[in-house]
Amino acid sequence: MHLLLTLPRWAYRGVVWLANSPKTLLIAYSLLIIICGSLYNVFEADTSFGDSIWWAVVTASTVGYGDISPASWQARIMAGLLISIMVLLVIPLITAHFASKLIVDTDAFRHEEQEELKANLRHVRRLLDEMAARQGVSVPDSAVLPEAPSDR
């Protein structure tokens, strides 16, 4: 039972690992084509290895020319799995990877820059409070920044 509960976490981590590296995604895609092409060659005995790989590429791309189609039930099940994996996993991962590269905000502050800005604002706030105290003026607390962590 414990294995069933941890399986989705491992599957999720595997998908994240694939999605974050175009190199691993390309390797996984290539392995999927080679494995499915090889299995197709075994299931459909009258097909050459080259035609089997061609079938895997055409099926994985969901083009489906129809020049080669599975006759055995094993090859048909594998075709369904190959199409499902491509449509539900590989193609969305490729699309998401490229989309995430297009949606990068180059004007966004890095973490270090944000921390430096917060420290500078705290310093300015302390100076403003000192000046206000010397002049006997109160400064509104509406723009108070959170205190800097003391032991980091």
* 104 vs 5, residue with greater confidence: 104
Claim to verify: residue 81 and residue 134 sit in the same structural domain = no
Q: What domain range includes position 88?
A: 2-102
The pLDDT of residue 132 is 87
Q: How confident is the model at residue 143 (pLDDT cuts 50, 70, 90)?
A: low
Claim to verify: residue 98 and residue 120 sit in the same structural domain = no
Claim to verify: residue 37 and residue 95 sit in the same structural domain = yes
Claim to verify: residue 126 and residue 57 sit in the same structural domain = no
> Is pLDDT at 148 greater than 70 in this prediction?
no
Q: What DSSP string runs through 101-121?
A: HHS--TTSPPHHHHHHHHHHH
Claim to verify: residue 80 and residue 33 sit in the same structural domain = yes
Please, what is the average pLDDT of the chain?
82
